[in-house]
Amino acid sequence: MQLVEAGTGRVVGTVDGARAHATAHTGAIYVHRGETWQVERLDLDDHVAEIRRADVDYTTTARDVADIVIVEERDHQRWASCRVSFGSVDVSNQVTSYLRRRTRTGEVIDETLLDLPVRTLRTSAVWWTVPDAVLEAAGLDRVDLPGAAHAAEHCSIGLLPLFATCDRWDIGGVSTARHPDTGVLTVFVHDGHPGGAGFAERGYATAQEWLTATRAAIASCECVSGCPSCIQSPKCGNGNDPLDKGGAVLLLDALLAGAPPRR
């Protein structure tokens, strides 16, 4: 996707196709090499976004709905009655709206609906499941599960670059208190590129270390209910809601309790 200056046609930059809907939708504020631009028009057919220099006191964040379907589990590890898996998935994602936020305070000004098509990506993912009995034994309330899973997902995505050579923008995640393909609570972390780029596979290979580090990062963070250093994500399509910091620690403890003894 090319970013082209409106009026002159000058190519200012490019955006990765996977990120175009979220970052180059009509109305998006785009910061490129320290300069602020606004997208006037996104042309999906021509792969061009027309942008214009803008002097604004707000930022934009896209909101999306994501869905994930397991195509094939290629490998798995049993951690007691929990399971960690690696395989291929279809991720579908639709950017549905964007929020304008005041630059200084982060306060939401308004939300604008967008009409963008669903994008589907077949790629690789690592995912883990925790059955209901384990969740109950861990003292997790059903209402807290979405926030706990979502918080664990975010933090694990933030930490994967320590285990795989990637950027958090190269990977995505989906978490759900009950996934139709597994029947139980499931957290997915997937590669952002078609076919996969090896990051999820690396996460699977180092799952115990990676998720232990995730649990530690959340538990040791001094914030009260979550911050950008632990469970908040700058690229969350749900506006970082819901997130449950304490629930995420309980959830990861329950998962890791069944992991094999560490050497």
Q: Which residues bind Zn ion (CB under 5 A)?
A: 221, 223, 227, 229-230, 236, 238
Our CB check for Zn ion shows the closer of 239 and 260 to be: 239
Please give the radius of gyration of the chain, using alpha carbons only, rounded to the nearest integer.
Answer: 19
Q: What is the largest CA-CA distance in the chain?
A: 63
Cβ atoms 41, 70 nearer than 8 A: no
C-alpha–C-alpha distance, residues 127 and 63, integer Å: 23
Minimum CB separation of residue 125 from Zn ion in Å reads 15
Our CB check for Zn ion shows the closer of 56 and 223 to be: 223
Our CB check for Zn ion shows the closer of 50 and 64 to be: 64
Minimum CB separation of residue 22 from Zn ion in Å reads 12
Our CB check for Zn ion shows the closer of 11 and 227 to be: 227
Helix (H) or strand (E) holding 23: helix 17-23
Our CB check for Zn ion shows the closer of 14 and 225 to be: 225
Buried b or exposed e, range 6-30, using 16+ CB within 10 angstroms = beeeeebbebeebebbbbbbbebbb
Our CB check for Zn ion shows the closer of 26 and 238 to be: 238
C-alpha–C-alpha distance, residues 91 and 174, integer Å: 9
Q: What angle do CA 135, 139, 145 make, to 5 degrees?
A: 55
Minimum CB separation of residue 224 from Zn ion in Å reads 8
Collapse the DSSP code of 78 into the 3-class scheme (helix H, G, I; strand E, B; otherwise coil) and give the result: strand
Cβ atoms 58, 29 nearer than 8 A: yes
